[in-house]
Amino acid sequence: FPMSDTIVKKLLKQTESLISSGKTTEAKELLPQAYKILDKAAKVGIIKRNTAARKKSKITKRLSKASNK
């Protein structure tokens, strides 16, 4: 499938909603997929490399914070 900004946004929203609703195990399962999509988007040029790294860091930080509660 072609890579698009919409796919990236949709996956990030999905992960964020899982974290905020307290479903950390589901979010952890989705994390590798999110990493893959972000890396691919950065490679293709949809988002910049640092933006991808920042988004990955933000998701991971929120997930670890939520799973420690």
Reading the chain (69 residues) residue by residue, the pLDDT tens digits are 578 999 999 999 999 999 999 999 999 999 999 999 999 999 999 999 999 999 999 999 999 999 887
pTM for the whole structure = 0.89
Kindly give, in sequence order, each residue whose CB lies less than 8 Å from that of residue 59, ignoring residues fewer than 6 positions away: 12, 15, 16, 19, 31, 34
Say if residues 30 and 12 touch (Cβ distance below 8 Å).
no
3-state secondary structure of 23: coil
